[in-house]
């Protein structure tokens, strides 16, 4: 496990970008609506989720959001909190990495690739922005 951790930290971690934009630059450079996200927008994005996909650490299945209509107002409120605060929940930074073999000597970590399982709500958020 320690070796896998080191391997995937080397492969997946990269330095953060050094350039940053202030809020005025963002407003001037991007054609983005700063209005709250509506429930209709949330429903449209949720309906595009594919069934049967693996859940992330939070164990939220796509079907829970698609068929759990009661979740829409809560998810809309969460999306608007994230949108307004510019802060993603810390729990969404936790992922599950599943190593899959490639060709070659499987005792070498470089002959494996990782599939990252993200939180389903986290994957939905960029489509709303």
Residues 74-129 have pLDDT tens digits of 989 988 998 888 888 888 878 888 888 988 888 888 888 888 888 888 877 777 65
The pLDDT, as a whole number, for residue 88 is 83
The reported pLDDT for the residue numbered 65 is: 84
pLDDT at 26: 61
Q: What is the pLDDT of residue 120?
A: 83
Q: What local confidence, expressed as pLDDT, does residue 128 receive? A: 67
| Closest listed residue to residue 82, CA positions, set 26, 129, 28, 115 | 129
**Measured CA distances, 82 to 8, 26, 48, 78, 86 (Å):** 28, 17, 21, 6, 6
Q: How far apart are CA 92 and CA 117, in angstroms?
A: 11
Q: Give the model's pLDDT for residue 23.
A: 65
Percentage, residues of the chain above pLDDT 90: 6
* pLDDT-derived band at 40, boundaries 50, 70, 90: very high
Domain ranges of the chain: 2-13+35-128
The token duo for 64 is 């829970």
Please check whether residue 58 is in contact with residue 66, taking contact to mean a CB–CB distance below 8 angstroms. Answer: no
Is a pLDDT exceeding 80 seen at residue 47?
Answer: yes
Tokens matching residue 97: 């990495």
pLDDT value of residue 97: 85
Please determine, for residue 7, whether its predicted confidence score (pLDDT) is greater than 80. yes
pLDDT score recorded for residue 77: 92
């Amino acid at each position: 496990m320690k070796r896998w951790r080191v391997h995937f930290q080397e492969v997946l971690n990269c330095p953060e970008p050094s350039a940053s934009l202030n809020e005025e630059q963002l407003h001037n450079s991007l054609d983005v609506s700063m209005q709250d996200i509506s429930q209709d927008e949330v429903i449209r994005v949720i309906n595009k989720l594919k069934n049967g996909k693996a859940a992330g650490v939070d164990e939220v299945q796509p079907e829970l959001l698609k068929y759990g209509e009661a979740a829409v107002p809560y998810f809309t409120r969460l999306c608007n909190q994230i949108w307004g605060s510019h802060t993603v929940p810390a729990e969404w930074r936790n992922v599950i990495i599943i190593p899959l073999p490639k060709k070659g000597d499987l005792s070498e970590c470089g002959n494996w690739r990782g599939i990252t399982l993200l939180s389903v709500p986290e994957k939905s958020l960029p489509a709303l922005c």
